[in-house]
Amino acid sequence: MNTHPLDGSGPQARTTLPLSSPSAGVRGVTETAAPPIGPPVTSVGEIAGLRPRRRSRDGGEVPGDDVDLVDALDAQARSTVAGWLADTPSLTGRRTRLRVLAAFLRWLHALRPPVELLAVTEEHLDSYRDAAAAGTLTVGVRTPGKPLGGSTVARRRATLASFHTYARLRGAPAHGPAGEPAEPAEATRARRPLSREERRLLRQGVARLAADGRLATAAAVALLEGTGAPMGTLAGLTARGLRTVAEVDGTEHSVITFRNHGGDIVAVPVPRPARLLLDVLRRGRPAGELLITREDGQPADPAWIGAALIDAALAGGIPGERARRLHPHLLCAATIGELLDGWCFPASPR
């Protein structure tokens, strides 16, 4: 059987490489992954890569105080944090997540009244971001009172947003601005993040849509899955919005740029399947013309992009009920979380 060049078959480990790497964004090149978490743990220090450090040269990998802080949470919060930490196979990513979350917990505990981790809202995340940028943090930072850099603030905000999304999708109590439950746990569990097998099927669906000539639809989903770019970025993407990065060895790769939660411009390598589709779409088009449009030539909108995601999921073999529950925001959040676990990428486009 012939395999379409964009088919997602074969090893599908997530690539998490520095932007300067010539292989960044190209599947098949992976870092050393940690083993899965296995059975429930009594301490997050039991998760691979998070052995607590109690004294100098004792073999510990993370500060013992950070581990103790998470272990002191109530059972549901601790279990949610453990799942989120173990959700990334990257040891470095796990350590980064723990460090950022521990700093945030110290800030939550210092509030009056203190705020429970699973009661955190988007407003809390924004307040923490603003305090970090203004230099008003007195706990959880190396130098209290000193503003953190813009890229550091953006990375922290994005990492915490990843936890917030994970907790909500895994059924932990989610709260709105008034502190009321946002929706039943059953509803959030129904929108759980895509598994690795489901993402493989989604990429397979993208390849099938491309083979059927639905190039814009396939490209939209390939970019969602591969870069985590917001829907607005996809709808407004032009050839001018794709940048080529040259390496010292002469190789080149494309990146897509967009603004993150912290307001910084970030650049993400475009994976090969999406790049091949974009190369076809931009062929012969003026630099300022939209690349991803609806079948009637009109600009893509959120409803069209959402339908494209469902079509790709169904084409790849994801069951109908599950496919129809997928949403671009869910896929974007999961992708950005994975990318942040390996590297962060504030950009200064030339």
For residue range 119-147, what is the model confidence (pLDDT) as tens digits? 888 888 888 988 898 888 989 998 988 89
The residue ranges of every structural domain in the chain are 44-190, 196-342
- Rounded-to-integer distance, Cα 272 and Cα 25, Å: 7
Alpha helices in the chain (DSSP H): 64-71, 75-86, 91-110, 122-134, 150-169, 185-190, 196-211, 215-227, 231-235, 272-281, 302-316, 320-324, 328-342
Identify whether the C-beta of residue 249 lies closer than 8 Å to the C-beta of residue 22: yes
Higher pLDDT: 279 or 336? It is 279
Greatest mean pLDDT range, 138-142, 188-192, 245-249, 311-315: 311-315
Q: What separation in angstroms does the CA of 293 have from each of 139, 218, 287, 312?
A: 48, 11, 15, 16
Domain 196-342 sits in CATH at: 1.10.443.10
Task: Tell me what pLDDT residue 6 has.
Answer: 47
* 173 — pLDDT class (breaks 50, 70, 90): low
For the CA atoms of 156, 158, 163, 164, the dihedral, rounded to the nearest 10 degrees, stands at 110
Identify whether the C-beta of residue 205 lies closer than 8 Å to the C-beta of residue 313: yes
Summarize pLDDT for 260-289 with one digit per residue, the tens: 555 667 778 888 889 999 999 999 888 889
Pairing mode, strands 252-259 and 265-269? antiparallel
* 342 — pLDDT class (breaks 50, 70, 90): low
Q: Name 269's bridge partners.
A: 255
Nearest C-alpha neighbor of 108 from the set 88, 85, 137: 137
Above pLDDT 70, what percent of the chain?
Answer: 75
